[in-house]
Structure 1
Amino acid sequence: MVVVSAARDYINRMLQDISGMKVLILDSNTVSIVSVVYSQSELLQKEVFLVEMVESITMSRESMSHLKAVYFLRPTSENIQHLRRQLANPRFGEYHLFFSNILKDTQIHDLADSDEQEVVQQVQEFYADFVALDTFHFTLNIPSNHSYMIPAEVDLLNLRRFCDRVVDGISAIFLALKRRPIIRYQKTSDIAKKIAIETAKLMYQQESGLFDFRRTEVSPLLLVIDRRDDPVTPLLNQWTYQAMVHELIGIKDNKVDLRGMDKVPKDQQEVVLSSEQDSFFKSNMFENFGDIGMNIKRLVDEFQQYSESNQKIQTIEDMAKFVDNYPEYRKMHGNVSKHVTLVTEMSKIVEKRKLMLVSQTEQELACNGGQVAAFEAVTDLLNNESISDIDRIRLVMLYALRYEKESPVQLMQLFSKLARSAEYKTGLVQFLLKQAGVDKRTGDLFGNRDLLNIARNMARGLKGVENVYTQHQPLLFQTMESIIKGRLKDVDYPYVGNHFQQGRPQDVIIFIVGGTTYEESRSVALQNASNSGIRFILGGSVVLNSKRFLKDLEEAQRISRSSTAVV
């Protein structure tokens, strides 16, 4: 299961070799790392009777000497300080310390000095410093994700922290997979270049011994690219199940918070959407919204039949059989209820925000030409009082990205309309163009530069599309095709140092600085299922939906403005 199994294996090794009652102590990062690959019931099976945050342990003085403490923490200076204070006054019988990344020698010495009562049984590095959302998709959940858009001269400290966290996450992935990659990066992105160079320095110089794994015929490829090369994908409404849930409601660490929704049962206020734990979701996560409705109807019908068969209790044997099947019955009931609730809530949002109308214009802007028709369509929607502010801003952004050079007069007219109606000011659209306009981008985002892409788009237009709402393909799809065909240009994606690819790689990790989307993870899963001979893994600093992308833009704009004002 690639990244999921890599993380699970580390957690298994952490817990299974320590017998007896345990308390698992995590930090704000590792709690996400553990929760996406391990359920509460699985922790109980490993005799973990308590899960605590490292900060709360520091504040508590209650003795629990009958428990063995298993710490799983990122090796940050804050966590080391927490541990030093806790080891100075130990509350538990034994301490087993596991870190999600490389410890510095000074940190090891600090811990040894603090363990005066010799309660520490082991200190190990288990390289699960990433959140494994799915088989081929991981994230780092970086809170200050907007930092990638801020120039170094404006906020050097936060940019440094951001880069360090990304380098840590990428290095952990390769340590977990026991491989050392050849590294390439997007030439037009300063931050992608910086991260690629820092990662190479760590792997080939600073920790070269740690990455000296058994050589393979062809090294894996790490490609570091910038979100700003494809700002369209995170701006679009989504119509496949997983991506749509994240866009309309939000998914965090494979959990969906429904507490803000009307009439949601208490046991459904936070639900898990994991392909590892939910077979229906695994089968339907990439299906379009229309098919999901039909598939859920079949799921409900199956449950009703199962429920009726369990109600025919006439003998003691029938009762015993029902009791045996009750856990499965409850699980099936919860699953049906969860998916019905999600689809019901999304249907309400689609209707309220007129998203089918909005999305049709979005897809036309993203996939097809025709500036005059596009201007009329966007203008009509801006005049429609039923359209929400967030949908207005996204429509103008998509138009601006597509036609910034072709129709500056019409663009100014849209800016004027937007300023009168939307809470987001027009300066945000202009900031997006400054960050990710045509002059900044490497790839052929709209398929109108390269003859091959123009021909492909024409062919697709002649054939028609199966679903007008899902015709968009992220730029990542073209990037993967270029890698498969050996056409990724060195001039656009140079290598770091003197390490070059010899032959076609079998494993490729693409890391998007600024965040991935579930539409892109779907493209990766479908590409991997096509048996091209290359296995792709997708990673990013966060998982975006349009709200998060706009929030990052706003924060970067605010910091940029404040620094300009100071100057």
Structure 2
Amino acid sequence: MVLVSAARDYINRMLQDISGMKVLILDSYTISIVSVVYSQSELLQKEVFLVELVESISMSRESMSHLKAVCFLRPISENIQHLRRQLASPRFGEYHLFFSNILKDTQIHILADSDEQEIVQQLQEFYADFVAVDPYHFTLNIQSNHTYMLPAVVDPSNWQHLCDRVVDGIAAVFLALKRRPIIRYQSKSDIAKRVAHETAKLMYQQESGLFDFRRTEVSPLLLVIDRRDDPVTPLLNQWTYQAMVHELIGIQDNKVDLRNMGKFSKDQQEVVLSSEQDSFFKSNMYENFGDIGMNIKHLVDEFQQISKSNQNIQTIEDMAKFVDNYPEYRQMHGNVSKHVTLVTEMSKIVEERKLMLVSQTEQELACNGGEVTAFEAVKNLLDNENLSEIDRLRLVMLYALRYEKEKPVNLMNLCNKLASQSAKYKPGQLVQFLLKQAGVDKRSGDLFGNRDLLNIARNMARGLKGVENVYTQHQPFLFQTMENIVKGRLKDTEYPYVGNHFQQGRPQDVVIFIVGGTTYEESRSVALQNASNSGTRFILGGSVVLNSKRFLKDLEEAQRITRSSPSVI
């Protein structure tokens, strides 16, 4: 079972057994959980005539006793208080309470004591405390994501809040999958270690009965790793469809907001990109940008053929046939215009920011050696007036990550050059902060494949074979991690086990959670790995879904807090 199916199944079970007109009451997080797996038309089919946020319900006094309230909320104290006020003075005829994670006994008692009018018909835990953006990719949408870069002493309450939220999300995934995993973590990361140990404590001690599922021959694996082990992937421009849309425009809960991109018709101002609801997107989400243009042309041609045939309506039978096909016709019309709009807007951005020029040097920095050539290439690009500030900064950061130990004087020259051009960033400080966070001394793995003999041989083989596309040479470090898991080569010293639970044999199911966020390039690697039929299925999760803007924003925020904190010397 994949995550989208698990989340949909929970929502189906909430709605289908409650007959009559319903209001669905959500919070600011569960609205994301529902929206990525359920469309508005599907909600209407389940007789949901109103969707409200729990905060606004609490503020209103209008009685709607003809509606049944279906509440799907995270089990946090604010939501319990909102419900307590609702139950004391109910607006709806019935209340059906569903929580996205484990409830505390005290919370159940508060709700029971508040239900004096006995209008609560049921209370259940439905473990969908994650946003299933794709079948094998989930996120937790954590706002204060930058906290993972801070030492615990700098911001202890937010650091613990981040750990708690990640543990809750991981627990819900395994409860939805009905599995209890063996747990490993990245040894060099304090936050990965804390998350791994607290997850183990929850699953094996505090809620061991809840996780007591039928044992499989080989237990699933949970691997908790830190974004800082691969800072390169979120800094790169992307050239496959889904990843490119997120990098250049932005995707939030499978929606793309185009309101700031130009004047579009109302139905094109926000478009949905879902592999579950859009067959063209499902077939093309991992394709290269050049191929997408051709595939959209085929889609347009197909639509024009259908349009022509629909113009030949001459009989009642023709009209009836057209009406029968009208939903599909409308959906295809929406899909064609949506994808044409996205590709057109991205083409404009690529041209304006000279991204093909920028990306070629980025890929060289990420994948190939040669400091002298790299330095000259970056220096020349910094002189190009067409480049945006963010693109200049990313180039210098990629150079710094690759060559921090080789030519510090060249890095200083690039930072000084960048500083003289930048109105927004203090590039020298930000680049140095990145190296303190994710430089070679902080990383566990061989990110650039130039330390380990096996990786050097692998890179040479790739170089000899050549690459199909110079813009997509890069493979995320996650690809190598998955390969090591499949081949039983993940080192115990770098990724130790929690407690006395060890893996016996190769796992069939692996959840990799990246504290600090995932990228769509990595989710593509997971999908391709799963399609290779290796015998191991991977699911990828993270605290947010990153693009370069979000990664740099988190970096800036962490740097600002670190600089102002007396706890950091």
TM over 0.5: yes
2:89 corresponds in structure 1 to 89
Matched, 1:317 2:309: no
2:67 corresponds in structure 1 to 67
2:417 corresponds in structure 1 to 417
2:337 corresponds in structure 1 to 337
1:520 corresponds in structure 2 to 522
Q: How far off is 1:320 after superposition? A: 2.0
Map 1:120-519; keep pairs closer than 5 Å: 120-422=120-422, 423-426=424-427, 427-519=429-521
SS in 1 for 2:281: helix
CA distance in 1, matches of 2:91, 2:489: 59
Q: CA offsets, 1:25-52, max 9 Å, x none? A: 0000000000000000111111111000
CA contact (8 A) 1:72 1:100 kept: yes
Q: How far off is 1:152 after superposition? A: 1.0
Q: Return the letter of the residue paired with 1:491.
A: T
CA distance in 2, matches of 1:322, 1:112: 54
Q: How far off is 1:561 after superposition? A: 0.8
CA contact (8 A) 1:27 1:54 kept: yes
User: 1:531 pairs with 533, 540, 548, which one?
Assistant: 533
CA contact (8 A) 2:467 2:473 kept: yes
CA distance in 2, matches of 1:146, 1:549: 9
CA contact (8 A) 2:362 2:395 kept: yes
CA distance in 2, matches of 1:145, 1:265: 34
Gaps of 5+ in 1: none
CA distance in 2, matches of 1:316, 1:5: 41
CA contact (8 A) 1:239 1:470 kept: yes
Q: How far off is 1:354 after superposition? A: 0.1
SS in 1 for 2:456: helix
CA distance in 2, matches of 1:293, 1:8: 32
CA contact (8 A) 1:26 1:51 kept: yes
Q: Return the letter of the residue paired with 1:549.
A: F
Q: CA offsets, 1:338-367, max 9 Å, x none? A: 000000000000000000000000000000
Matched, 1:43 2:36: no
Runs of 4+ residues over 2 Å off in structure 1: 564-567
CA distance in 1, matches of 2:453, 2:58: 62
CA contact (8 A) 2:154 2:568 kept: no
Q: Return the letter of the residue paired with 1:436.
A: A
Q: CA offsets, 1:291-314, max 9 Å, x none? A: 000000000000000100000122
Q: CA, structure 1 residues 502+174, in 2 after alignment: closer, same or farther (shift >3 Å)?
A: same
TM-score (ref. length: structure 2): 0.99
CA contact (8 A) 2:63 2:92 kept: yes
CA contact (8 A) 1:264 1:341 kept: no
CA distance in 2, matches of 1:357, 1:566: 40
CA contact (8 A) 2:513 2:541 kept: yes
SS in 2 for 1:532: coil
CA contact (8 A) 1:367 1:472 kept: yes
Q: CA RMSD in A?
A: 0.9
CA distance in 2, matches of 1:5, 1:36: 11
CA distance in 2, matches of 1:321, 1:477: 49
Q: CA offsets, 1:545-565, max 9 Å, x none? A: 000000000000011011149
CA distance in 2, matches of 1:83, 1:316: 54
SS in 1 for 2:96: strand
CA distance in 2, matches of 1:250, 1:226: 23
CA distance in 2, matches of 1:182, 1:463: 38
CA contact (8 A) 1:4 1:133 kept: yes
CA distance in 2, matches of 1:322, 1:116: 55
CA contact (8 A) 2:233 2:521 kept: yes
Q: How far off is 1:327 after superposition? A: 1.6
CA distance in 2, matches of 1:338, 1:330: 12
Q: Return the letter of the residue paired with 1:510.
A: I
CA distance in 2, matches of 1:236, 1:217: 40
SS in 2 for 1:96: strand
1:30 corresponds in structure 2 to 30
CA distance in 2, matches of 1:319, 1:107: 58
Q: How far off is 1:243 after superposition? A: 0.2
Q: How far off is 1:261 after superposition? A: 1.3
CA contact (8 A) 1:258 1:268 kept: yes
Q: CA offsets, 1:30-78, max 9 Å, x none? A: 0000000000011111111100000000000000111100000000000
Q: CA offsets, 1:181-225, max 9 Å, x none? A: 000000000000000000000000000000001111010000000
CA distance in 2, matches of 1:42, 1:250: 25
Q: How far off is 1:566 after superposition? A: 9.3
SS in 2 for 1:50: strand
SS in 2 for 1:4: helix
CA contact (8 A) 1:224 1:513 kept: yes
CA contact (8 A) 2:562 2:568 kept: no
CA distance in 1, matches of 2:101, 2:420: 50
CA contact (8 A) 1:242 1:285 kept: yes
SS in 2 for 1:94: strand
* Equivalent pairs, count: 567
SS in 2 for 1:489: coil
